[in-house]
Structure 1
Amino acid sequence: MDPVPPDDDRPWPGAAEDQGTPEALSGAVSGVERREVPAVLGRACIDALDITGASVSLAGSGDARALWWSSDERAGQLAEAQYTLGDGPCRTAFEQAAPALAADLTGGEDASRWPVFAQQAVALGVKAVFCLPLGANGLAIGTLDLYRDTPGPLSQRELSFAFPAAEAITTALLALHAQAGTHHGWSAEWLDTMETDHEEVHHATGMVMVHLGSSPEDALARLRAHAFGHGQTVTETARDVIAGRIRFHD
């Protein structure tokens, strides 16, 4: 991965030169309902940073994941690709509770680290992805994913905006989680409150478990393998299972 270039003296795009990052973020979410904070701050990142789009994903127990917000269709497709593959910078950032910064998916170390994801990302027109964990104390509850249609790292100045944005998103989501009354981790009920197609994946995974007499992990792995082998997303394969168009056998 290319080293992060030194900071520069350029002001943040769209922000007053005398306005610090915390103040800029506080101003952006002033009067905004907590549920809308991830979207507002995601758009603020797009305005302030040299990126093309962004998304926010949450993760529950096991392999449950759900897309909370995406700036555009491509950002959603990028998140779905990682969910289908079970691999990518987003997955790495979540599992390691540490940033996963892929400055160039067209070749080199970043492309080698996530080779299949890199190929799919480039096919979507995405050349760089920057994933920041949402969480605290070494535990992640999801990720803030930023992408760009050209390769290149984020500058230190840009990172100094993105990290506080991720922290502010985390604070809003944790407050919503407490408000929802789910105090024992990111439960399936919590994830189901979001606008997501992944409940179809959960349903199909249960059906495949019955077909094969397998564990949830093995059933989801079979869904993913079928999706990858047939050029589908895992959500599309799940819909085929639910409709009875696909039945898995040992």
Structure 2
Amino acid sequence: MTMPPEQPEQPDGGGVPPDVRDRLRVTDALAAAARGVRDEPERMPAALCAACVRLLPVTGASVSISGGRGVQMTWCASDRVAARLAELQYTLGDGPCQTALEQGAPVIAADLTAGRDTRRWPVFAHEAAEMGVLAVFSLPLGVSGAAVGTLDLYCDRVGGLSEPDLRTALWVRDAVTYALMSVQPAYDGTEDEAEEAVASWVEASEADHTEVYQAVGMVMVQIDVDPEQALDRMRARAFAEGRTVSQVAREVLARRLRFRPEPDGRDDDQGRDGDRS
């Protein structure tokens, strides 16, 4: 008797390849999160961050947006630690988030307690570990090679992401990028238009960082430096005093803090409470 030829084994799920099913799962989860708050659009960022945590073996997540000239804002955070972690990297101007933004590539910091990661970002690694953050995964957001922000994931345990988890994280990154771009009218993906869109998100979503822009301008005039140097000086002051850049910016705007150049060319940022310029 002639036996029928063996049929190739079909993947589970009606012939849909596993990677396609996983991508659909990610898309459906994030779409459901967005639909759940469609009547309250201001809650969409937080809903997306919470969905990211449910989809991945991580403790928390945040999305940061770059507004140009080194100024960033936290678009959403799943918890207080995630928000503090984002603000820490912004204040320091260093960390996996900053590196991912500059390089336009994912950055995996699997152990912030020892080894290469502590040497790469020594101050950030120490401060993060003090907060109970032992691993960070930063994925750049953007289109056409222009990174306009990052999806930052953190864990309270040491270890990287498995290959399937990293693949899922990249799909989550793509979906969050799409959601972010959908907040504003469409643009053609050029870097200039991306920066314009991001600037509008910053202005609409985070007044603190609008204050940073204004304070940077004041410090530029006070000590005659460019924007990057002014922001660096504010960051240094914030870190030295255990505060955020936003808090320092508010003091500058209220004229309770004035940055002054010293005669030898170094900057003296000790002026406070109406000290003479």
Fold equivalence (TM over 0.5): yes
Paired with 1:177 and 1:139, the residues of 2 have a C-alpha distance of 17
Cα distance change on mapping 1:239 and 1:24 into 2, 3 Å: same
Work out whether 1:184 is the aligned partner of 2:193: yes
CA distance in 2, matches of 1:53, 1:152: 15
Are 1:75 and 1:147, in contact at CA under 8 Å, matched by a contact in 2? yes
Contact 1:101 1:130 in 2 (8 A): yes
Contact 1:104 1:127 in 2 (8 A): yes
Deviation, 1:145, is 0.3
1:243 matched residue in structure 2: 254
Structure 1: runs of 5 or more not aligned: 1-16
Q: What stretches of structure 2 of length at least 5 have no aligned partner? A: 1-17, 262-277
Q: Distance in 2 between matches of 1:225 and 1:37?
A: 33
SS of 2:193's equivalent? coil
Cα shift readout 1:160-211 (whole Å, capped 9, x = no counterpart): 2111010011112223233599972323333201135212211211111121
Q: Which amino acid in structure 1 is aligned with residue 194 of structure 2?
A: G
Say if 1:97 and 1:139, in contact at 8 Å, map to a contact too. yes
Alpha-carbon distance in structure 1 between the residues aligned to 2:258 and 2:155: 38
Match in the other structure for 1:132? 139
Provide closer, same or farther for how the CA distance between residues 55 and 18 of structure 1 changes in structure 2, counting only shifts above 3 A.
closer
For the residue of structure 2 that corresponds to 1:197, the secondary structure is helix
Q: Which residue of 2 aligns with 1:10?
A: none
Letter in 2 for 1:207: M
Q: Deviation digits for residues 12-58 of structure 1, max 9, x if unmatched?
A: xxxxx999222212322146258766544432231232211000011
1:208 counterpart residue number: 219
Compared with structure 1, are the counterparts of its residues 203 and 159 closer, same or farther at alpha carbon in structure 2 (3 Å cutoff)?
Answer: same
TM-score (norm 2): 0.77
| Residues 1:24 and 2:33 aligned together | no
% identical equivalent positions: 47
Give the Å deviation of 1:129: 0.3
Tell me the secondary structure at the aligned position of residue 26 of structure 2: helix
Larger Rg: 2
Identify if the C-alpha distance between structure 1 residues 177 and 129 changes in structure 2 by more than 3 Å, giving closer, same or farther: same
**Distance in 2 of aligned mates of 1:196 and 1:164:** 30
1:96-175 correspondence runs (5 A): 96-175=103-182
Give the match's secondary structure for 1:20. helix
State the match for 1:226 in structure 2. Answer: 237
| Displaced runs of 4 or more, over 3 A | 33-41, 179-183
CA gap 1:154/1:218 in 2 versus in 1, 3 angstroms: same
Q: Which stretch shifts more, 22-31 or 84-93?
A: 22-31
Of residues 26, 48, 51, the one that matches 1:44 is: 51
2: distance between equivalents of 1:157 and 1:76? 26
Find the aligned partners of 1:190 and 1:47 in 2 and give their Cα distance: 25
Q: How many residues align?
A: 234
Q: Which amino acid aligns with 2:120?
A: R
